[in-house]
Chains A and B, each alone.
Chain A
Amino acid sequence: MKFLDEYRDEALAQKIVDEIRRVVTKPWVLMEVCGGQTHTIVKYGIDRLLPDEIELVHGPGCPVCVTPLEMIDKAHTIAQRPDVIFCSFGDMLRVPGSDADLLVLKSRGADIRVVYSPIDCLKIARANPEKKVVFFAIGFETTAPANAMSVWQARKQRINNFSILVSHVLVPPAIGSILQSPLNRVQGFLGPGHVCTIMGYREYEPIAERFRVPIVITGFEPTDILQGALMAIQQLEAGTHEVQNQYMRVVQRDGNSVAQSLVNEVFEVCDRKWRGVGSIPKSGYRLRHEFHEYDAELLFDVKEIDTQESSTCISGLVLRGVKKPQDCPAFGKQCTPEHPLGATMVSAEGACAAYYAYGRHLQATNAPRNS
C-alpha cells in the first residue's frame, strides 16, 4: 500500500539495524513514549531485531493505561444511568474499574457505544434527544483537538444533550516526571510523533537541555522506529542531547497552530492524576469555565468519587520504566489479559499485555533476549 509499504520494507529495516549495530559501543536504555510506538515494536518484533546493548522501555504514552481508576469509576457511574448513552474509544471498554468494565456494564443493560470520533457522538445526540450523550474524552494532545471540536460544534449546533468526561493528559510533564525520578534508567527518548504533529516540538527543547537527554520525535512505522532509535543512539554515542525530528514527513517544529488554538479555546491546563504514577502538576487538560455546561464531571455530580488503586499492581513503576512486568507478583497469575488488575495489561499497547504474549513464547523457546 502506497505511503505505508515503503516504511515496512525488510531490506531498509535491516540496513538500519546493521547501522545501529555498527555505531553502538555500550548499553543504552531508550524509552518509546507512545503506546502506538510500543504497538509497532511488538507487532513487528522490532525489539528482537535490535542488538542486545539496546533496551527499549515502554513509556507512559498509552492513554488507556494512564487513565486513573477513579476516572474510570466516574465513567462507570455515569454509564450506568438509564438516561445516558455512553460513548468511548474501543480499547477503553475492557479497562476494569473497581466493580466491572464497560463491556460488563453493557451486558447489564447500559447503553455503551464504541465511536471512532467524538464528532460521531453529536450525531447520536441529535438522534436521541431524550437521552444524555456522554463521551469519555481520554488521550494525549493528539486527541485533544477532535475532543475540543466536539464541544465547540455542540455549542455551535445548539446540541444541549451532549457532554464529555475529560481525562486528558500531556506528554512533556510526564517525561519530566520520569527524568526527575531517582530511579530513572532512561537515557534517550523516542518522542511522540502524533502529539508533536499537533503541538510541534519546541516544548521538548528545554527538557532535552535541562536533563541532557536526546529526544528524537519519531513516527509509528517499523522503519520510523528503527531510524528514531538509530538517531538517539548516535546522539548518545556522541554525547549530544538535542531534539531531532525523525518524523519530518508529518511533524513541524511549531505543530498545527489551528488545532492548538482550538484546544486553547476549549481546554485549560490543570493538574492530573496518572494511573499508577499519581498526580503530576500541570499534566492535563480540563474544560474552560466557559464550556462547563459540557463537563460531564459537573453535570453528573461525580467529582467526589475518589478510588484507591490496587496495592498489588505495579503498573505505575512499569509505566515509568523502573520495573519490568515480570517483576510484578501478580503478573500472569491474578493479572492476565482476561482479568487485568491494571490497565497496562488491558490495551494491546500496554507493556504488561505485550510481555504476557511475548513471555509465553519465551517460556516455550527459552530464547534469551533482553527486553
Chain B
Amino acid sequence: MHPETVNVDVGALLGACPLPLTDYKQIVLAHGSGGRLSHQLIQKIVLPQFRNQFLDPLHDGAIFRLGETRVAFTADSYVVSPIFFPGGDIGSLSIHGTINDLAMCGARPLYLSASFILEEGLPMEDFWRIVQSMHAAADAAGVNLVTGDTKVVDRGKADKIFINTSGVGVVPSGINIDPARAQVGDKIIISGPVAVHGIAIMSVREGLEFETEIASDTAALNTLVDAMLATKTDIHVLRDPTRGGVTSALSEIAQSARVGMLLNEARIPISEEVKGACEILGLDPLYVANEGKLLAIVSARDIDPVLSAVKSHPLGQQAAVIGEVTRDHPGLVMMKTRIGGTRVVDMLSGEQLPRIC
C-alpha cells in the first residue's frame, strides 16, 4: 500500500482516550457520582498517567515519609448546591471533608489550604458567612488554615462558590490503616445512622418538608478516630462513606482487599425521617451520601473495645456492627435483607435516579 493512502488513526498516534469508543465522549454528571463511572474515569484516564506507590492504593489520602515522620496528604473540592443547608453550609463541609479524609488515613490533621472559585455576583454577605463557618469548623477540629487562593469567574461560569481544600496530617507510629487490609472474619462498624447528609440536601432541593427538619450530619471525625486509635487495637480500615454512600465505600474496599462482605440490613441504623424521605424520593439509603459518619473494619477480636470507644463519643452513640468480611464472593458486597433473603449491593453505575414506580 502506498504510504499516502494509509488511513492513519490520528487519535491512536497521539495517545487516544483509552475508554472504549462505545463509552461517553463527554463528561456526564454520573462521572462525578462516586459510582462505577467515577471509578472508570480515575482508573482509565487519571491513574495510568500518574501511577505511583502513593496514588495507586486510591485511599482517601496519600501517605508518605518525610524523614522519620509519616505524613498524610489529601485534597477535595466542594460544589454543593444549595450552599447553605440545614445543619451546615459549603464552608463547614469543605473543612470537615478534608479533615475526615486525613482522619481516615489514621492521621492527625494539622494544616489545611482553601481555594475559592467565586462566581461574579455572589453576595458578599454569603461569602462572609461561609468563611466564618470555615473558621469555626477549623477551630473546633483544632486545625489551622495556612494557605489558599481566590479566583473570580464570570457570572454563569460557576455556581455561586466552589471550594477546594487540601490538608496534611501526621500518622502516628504503629498505625497502619489501608483499604487492602480488610481480612476475612473482620467486623464492619458504621458510626451512626446513614444517608442523613444526602437526604438533607435533597429535601431542600425538592422542597420537601417533614415534621422534623432533616439536618446534615456534617462533622469532623478526627476526635472520634482519636478515641478509636486510643484503644491500641489494630484497626484495619477506616472510610467515610460520602458520595456513593455506604455501598460504594464498601464495594471499593472489597475490591481493593479482594474479599467479600456480608451486611445485615436490619442492623444498619437509619432514622425514621430519613427512611421516610427515601421512600418518598424513591432512593436507596445505602447509596446516599454521608458527611459525618465512618465505616471501620476491625478484627473480630478487637470489636468490643473499638465499638465501645465509638459509642462513648458524641458522634458515635448510635454506632452498630452492620456486617462482616467474608471469604465468599470476593470483590462483592452481599446483604442479608430485612426479610431474610440475600442480594448483591452493587456499586451504582452513575447517579441514583429516582424510579418512576
**Interface set of A (CB-CB < 8 Å, partner B):** 1, 4, 8-10, 13-14, 34-36, 39, 42-49, 62-64, 89-94, 103-104, 106-108, 114, 116, 138-140, 142-143, 194, 222-223, 334, 337-339, 347-349, 357-358, 360-361, 364-365
Contacts and interface: CB of A to CB of B under 8 A. Distances in A.
Interface stretch (B83-91, B190-198, B289-297, B325-333): B325-333
B36 A89 contact: no
A35 B353 contact: no
A36 B341 contact: no
Contacts of A337: 36, 349
- Chain B CB within 10 Å, residue with most, of A107, A194, A223: A107
B28 A46 contact: no
Nearest to B348: A337
Given A114-B354, A357-B344, 8 more contacts: A13-B340, A46-B339, A90-B356, A93-B353, A107-B28, A339-B23, A364-B332, A365-B329
A107 B357 contact: no
Interface string B335-357: 00111111110100110011111
B332 A49 contact: no
B319 interface: no
A217 B250 CA distance: 38
B37 A106 contact: no
| Main SS class of interface, B | loop
Contacts of B276: 1
Given A143-B356, A365-B329, A223 B339 contact: yes
B260 interface: yes
B125 interface: no
Nearest to A47: B341
Given A49-B339, A364-B330, A63 B30 contact: no
B26 interface: yes
Classify chain B: how many residues form its interface, as a range: 35 or more
Contact of A14 (B206, B260, B340, B349): B340
A45 B355 CA distance: 19
Contacts of B50: none
Contacts of B281: 116
A142 to B, nearest CB: 6
Interface string B22-33: 111111111000
B161 interface: no
A147 B329 CA distance: 44
Interface in B1-52: 22-30, 36-37, 40
A114 B37 CA distance: 20
B275 interface: yes
A90 B355 contact: yes
B56 interface: no
A156 to B, nearest CB: 22
A142 B357 CA distance: 8
B211 interface: no
A98 to B, nearest CB: 14
A42 B338 CA distance: 13
Contacts of A364: 260, 328-332
B263 to A, nearest CB: 12
Contacts of A4: 279
B338 A8 contact: yes
A1 B272 contact: yes
Nearest to A41: B341
A45 B341 contact: yes
A361 B329 contact: yes
Contacts of A90: 282, 353-356
Contact of A360 (B22, B346, B355): B346
Contacts of A143: 356-357
B342 A103 contact: no
A107 B353 contact: no
23 contacts: A1-B276, A4-B279, A13-B340, A35-B356, A36-B355, A39-B355, A44-B338, A44-B341, A45-B340, A46-B339, A48-B341, A90-B353, A91-B354, A92-B356, A103-B350, A104-B25, A107-B29, A194-B357, A223-B339, A357-B344, A358-B343, A358-B344, A364-B329
